[in-house]
């Protein structure tokens, strides 16, 4: 039995198991301490496994703690060859960087091999928001029927646009998150951060109408939005609903729940809302994330500038 400890197969097993322990420990760290979302954790896990397999296949390197930057650069080149976008590659490298910072923090490595890495240049695609007319037309085109599915679909569109919440935040709303007295809704955002978003009077009316119909389908599930079978709505269902209604009124290439969030922020800024207030409503941790929406307000700013400046020829 002692000889088994020194056999090649046992050594390979031990190394593989050790690498998995490192990865699992890191995933536990970002889940339990950093409070990252399940989607983010899943993405990080896939990135790390992909890199681990690359090191093993291309360099016969089993110990991720021994990786040096040239190997990472080689991985980047392989990703570029696979026609993966620079933006996606940067995200993968960000996962790897977080992993090595964790190994450094836990004294598994002395130096983070990505310390001097520079991100690849990427072009940020400008998201084109829906116009107010497109949104109003889409909502008005929803059937006047008062059946469960129609009212639920209308509520989904209204909630996404009137609150600017994310798709994941929408499907996780619970019944007791709605405060009719204060006309607010509690949202559980990224990293389990809570925020309260105001509800329009018109939306609270639809919520109450929907809840009366919902009682016929489910009295057990505490999630606000459910299917006809009484289950929590899925991301794909929400995406399909937005595509269904906005596909009839908009020629924009991308029609998704995120574009409604984008429209919410853009329209508020166009109407003079404070950037900090929009930041809080969206649940952003920094103004930098919110400032991306100011690009769409540039034309409005130009009009105000030309009308207000003493030297403007338009005065």
My answer on whether 300 and 156 are in the same domain is yes
The model's confidence at residue 9, banded by pLDDT at 50, 70 and 90, is: very low
Given a cut of 60, is residue 315 above it in pLDDT?
no
Residues 45, 160, single domain; the answer is: no
Active site residue 261: yes
Residue 10 has pLDDT above 60, yes or no: no
Task: Write out the H or E segment, with its range, that includes residue 79.
Answer: helix 69-81
Q: How far is CA 48 from the centre of its chain?
A: 20
Percentage of the chain beyond pLDDT 90 is: 60
CATH number at residue 183: 1.10.443.10
In a domain, 203, yes or no: yes
Tally of domains within the chain: 2
Q: What is the pLDDT of residues 148-182, one digit of tens each?
A: 999 999 999 999 999 999 999 999 999 999 999 99
My answer on whether 212 and 277 are in the same domain is: yes
pLDDT at 43 over 70: yes
* Same domain (yes/no): 99, 212: no
Q: Is residue 315 part of a domain?
A: no
Domain range enclosing 80: 2-105
**Which one, of 160, 140, 123, lies nearest residue 265 by Cα?**
160
Q: What is the mean pLDDT of residues 240-254?
A: 89
Q: Please check whether residue 296 lies inside any domain of the structure.
A: yes
pLDDT of residue 15: 55
In the block, residue with structure tokens 């930098």? 288
Q: Report the chain's mean pLDDT, rounded to a whole number.
A: 86
Q: Is 29 a catalytic residue?
A: no
Residue 232 backbone dihedrals phi, psi, to 5 degrees = -60, 140
**Which residue is catalytic, options 152, 154, 166, 255?**
166
CA pair distance 114, 98, nearest whole angstrom: 10
Percent share of the chain, pLDDT over 70: 84
Position 118 in a domain: no
Which of the residues 117, 190, 195, 232 is marked catalytic?
Answer: 190
Residues 210 and 293 in one domain: yes
Phi and psi dihedrals of 212, rounded to 5?
A: -65, -40
Is the same domain home to 201 and 245? yes
Verify whether residue 181 is a known catalytic residue. no
pLDDT tops 50 at residue 305: yes
C-alpha–C-alpha distance, residues 179 and 309, integer Å: 44
Check whether residue 190 and residue 230 sit in a common domain. Answer: yes
My answer on whether 22 and 141 are in the same domain is no
Per DSSP, the three-state class of 223 is: strand
Residues 199 and 266 in one domain: yes
CATH number of the domain at 98, please: 1.10.150
Does residue 13 have a pLDDT over 70? no
Separation CA 22–CA 34 (nearest Å): 17
Select which of 261, 262, 267, 279 is catalytic.
261
With the CA atoms of 112, 113, 115 and 117 taken in that order, what torsion angle do they form, in degrees rounded to the nearest 10?
Answer: -150
- Model confidence, pTM: 0.70
Q: Which of 167, 262, 267, 284 is catalytic?
A: 284
What's the pLDDT at 296?
55
- Confirm whether 87 is a catalytic residue: no
Q: Is residue 44 part of a domain?
A: yes
Task: Please indicate, yes or no, whether residues 301 and 168 belong to a single structural domain of this protein.
Answer: yes
143 and 191 belong to one structural domain: yes
**Domain assignment of residue 263, yes or no:** yes
> CA of 280: how far to CAs of 8, 185, 267, 285, 294, in Å?
56, 14, 15, 8, 15
Asked, for residue 12, whether it belongs to a domain, the answer is: yes
- The answer as to whether 205 is a domain residue is yes
Catalytic one among 15, 101, 232, 258?
A: 258
CA angle (95, 98, 104) in 5-degree steps: 145
Maximum average pLDDT range among 31-45, 151-165, 238-252, 266-280: 151-165
pLDDT at position 12 over 50: no
Residues 97 and 162 in one domain: no
């Amino acid at each position: 039995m002692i000889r088994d400890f020194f056999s090649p197969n046992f050594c390979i097993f031990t190394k593989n198991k050790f690498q998995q322990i490192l990865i699992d420990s890191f995933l536990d760290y970002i889940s339990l301490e950093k409070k990252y979302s399940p989607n983010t954790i899943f993405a990080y896990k896939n990135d790390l496994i992909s890199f681990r397999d690359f090191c093993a296949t291309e360099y016969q390197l089993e110990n991720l703690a021994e990786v040096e930057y040239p190997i990472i650069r080689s991985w980047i080149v392989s990703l570029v060859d696979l026609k993966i976008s620079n933006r996606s590659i940067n995200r993968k490298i960000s996962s790897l960087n977080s992993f090595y910072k964790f190994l450094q923090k836990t004294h598994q490595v002395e130096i983070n091999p990505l310390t001097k890495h520079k991100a690849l240049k990427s072009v940020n695609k400008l998201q084109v928001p829906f116009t107010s007319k497109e949104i109003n037309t889409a909502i008005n085109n929803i059937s006047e029927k008062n059946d469960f599915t129609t009212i639920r679909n209308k509520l989904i569109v209204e909630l996404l646009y009137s609150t600017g919440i994310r798709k994941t935040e929408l499907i996780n709303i619970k019944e007791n998150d709605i405060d009719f007295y204060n006309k607010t809704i509690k949202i559980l955002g990224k990293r389990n951060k809570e925020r309260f978003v105001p509800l329009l009077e018109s939306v609270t009316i639809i919520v109450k109408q929907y809840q009366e119909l919902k009682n016929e389908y489910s009295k057990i599930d505490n999630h606000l939005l459910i299917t006809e079978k009484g289950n929590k709505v899925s991301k794909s269902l929400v995406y399909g609903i937005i595509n269904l209604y906005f596909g009839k009124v908009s020629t924009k290439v991308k029609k998704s729940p995120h574009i409604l969030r984008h429209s919410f922020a853009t329209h508020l800024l166009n109407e003079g809302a404070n950037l900090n207030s929009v930041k809080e409503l969206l649940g952003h941790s920094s103004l930098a994330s919110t400032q991306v929406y100011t690009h769409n307000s540039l034309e409005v700013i130009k009009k105000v500038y030309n009308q207000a400046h003493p030297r403007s020829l338009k005065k």
